[in-house]
Structure 1
């Protein structure tokens, strides 16, 4: 079993403490009403911590969030992983590190990045969120296209090409695409933030 260095142990403690702060604003209240908060999005697959003492260099930084290109180092903790998946019916689309499909909503906007899905909508379509102390790794997605917005409840939602991205609550297994085309407004999100459409 490999041991981690003092530097890595200190970094883990710092990341853990930072993660206790409010997602988008450290001055924001940390408690929210359980009756008004949207449900927590499914946790992205945990990625193990590397034994390499040299931290990777971020491709982009937005505020406190560091966004890296590629796959997270083996063993990395506190990571949101984005990946590209291919489906014969719609081509390439973005999923999380566990293979869960991600969607965009036509009623949102990319310029400026804005989410219009809250309340019951966010129960059906939980946003993919990131919190202080986490970082994002984008494999197959240009890190420059990845960012986040602050939602009404103070949580931070990942965006791709400016479009906020979501899960679909009826998708149960990696690779499920049950949200594709729902209501003519929900579509799997492509690596550039576009809509995945039938071929």
Structure 2
């Protein structure tokens, strides 16, 4: 009887571990080990006055985001969340809620960041149609994928929600995609707005809102 109980316990434990890593498997709420990061200022914390017919268009309230697209258990909304989203401080861990923002840069053009302003990149050796990541193992340690956990919600600002989705990686986790291109962080980016990965090996570039690669930085040694 004792042996049987041990066997059952081992099987249940293994199943639980699979459930935590499998792409599309529903999980428990996010753990409390997230590290607070600065959140992009995409919304006003103060309540807006009630608009009237004479209120200028730029002062009209922003409508609540609606679900623009679904990919299985992930909902992609039509705009930014009404509440601030604090991304996971560890680039190697995913979140159940992801915010994507389009940011202007004079050198490279418009590129995409997460809710903490951290630059997101694409890899030229990946595939977009169908989506496939070719950055695994040691590569993924230097370029951590942006992961979305189940049940997931993605809130974009300045990016067409129809272009956003996810792809299952070799390890069973789910990586956010833009127009089919898997997106990554760069481990050496330490501050919001850092672009240390731009042009590395001629294959890594900050991703544009339409999924294209952004322009190289003129004279940057990695290009």
TM category, shorter:
0.7 to 0.9
Map 1:79-98 onto structure 2 (within 5 A). 79-98=97-116
Q: Is the 8 A contact 1:21 1:132 kept in 2?
A: no
Q: Which runs of 5+ in 2 are unaligned?
A: 1-18, 27-34, 41-63, 87-95, 218-223
Pick the structure with greater CA Rg: 2
Q: Which runs of 5+ in 1 are unaligned?
A: 1-19, 28-41, 48-54
The answer to whether structure 1 residue 124 and structure 2 residue 142 are counterparts is: yes
Q: Is the 8 A contact 1:23 1:132 kept in 2?
A: no
| Whole-angstrom CA distance in 2 between matches of 1:21 and 1:45 | 27
Superposition TM-score, scaled by structure 2 size: 0.66
Residue number in structure 1 paired with 2:4: none
| Whole-angstrom CA distance in 2 between matches of 1:43 and 1:120 | 26
Residue number in structure 1 paired with 2:133: 115
Residue number in structure 1 paired with 2:59: none
Deviation at 1:195, TM superposition (A): 0.5
The answer to whether structure 1 residue 161 and structure 2 residue 170 are counterparts is: no
Q: Aligned pair in 2 of structure 1 residues 26, 198: CA closer, same or farther (>3 Å)? A: closer
Superposition TM-score, scaled by structure 1 size: 0.74
The answer to whether structure 1 residue 59 and structure 2 residue 68 are counterparts is: yes
The runs of at least 4 consecutive aligned structure 1 residues that moved more than 3 Å come to 20-23, 42-47, 75-78
By relative contact order (CA 8 Å, sep 6+), the higher-ranking structure is 1
Deviation at 1:79, TM superposition (A): 1.6
Residue number in structure 2 paired with 1:3: none
Q: Is the 8 A contact 1:72 1:79 kept in 2?
A: no
Q: CA RMSD in A?
A: 3.0
| Whole-angstrom CA distance in 2 between matches of 1:25 and 1:102 | 22
| Whole-angstrom CA distance in 2 between matches of 1:143 and 1:124 | 28
Residue number in structure 2 paired with 1:179: 197
Q: Is the 8 A contact 1:94 1:102 kept in 2?
A: yes
Q: Is the 8 A contact 2:24 2:73 kept in 1?
A: no
Deviation at 1:87, TM superposition (A): 1.1
Deviation at 1:198, TM superposition (A): 3.8
